[in-house]
Amino acid sequence: MNNLLSLYNVFNTVAATGSISQAAKVLYVSQPAISKAITNLEECLNQVLFVRNSRGVKLTEEGQILYKYTKA
C-alpha cells in the first residue's frame, strides 16, 4: 500500500511538471527511477497514463481522470 502511495506521488509530480526530468529534480531521485515508477503504476492500473515525446509528457484521458482524483 505504501509503495502504491509513492507511485501516486511520482505520478502527481510528473503530471504537475509535465516532465520526467523535472519531476526527478523535484523529488531528488534519478530520471530512470521516475520512468520506472510511472511504468510500474501504468502496469498496476493496466492503463497508459502519459504520452511521452521529446518535449516531455502529456496526460492521456485516463491520466487526466486519475490526476483529478489524486490531486484532491
Residues 18 and 12: their CA atoms lie apart, in Å, by 10
Is the separation of the CB atoms in 24 and 10 below 8 Å? Answer: no
- 52 beta partners: 57
Q: Does an H or E element contain 51, and which?
A: strand 50-53
Per-residue pLDDT band for 2 (boundaries 50, 70, 90) equals: low
Tens of pLDDT, residue by residue over 36-62, are 999 999 999 999 999 999 889 999 999
pLDDT attached to residue 72: 84
pLDDT for residue 18: 96
- State pTM to two decimals: 0.92
pLDDT digits (tens, 9 = 90+) for 7-30: 999 999 999 999 999 999 999 999
Q: Which residue has the cell 497508459?
A: 48
Measure the CA–CA gap between 56 and 46, rounded to whole angstroms.
22
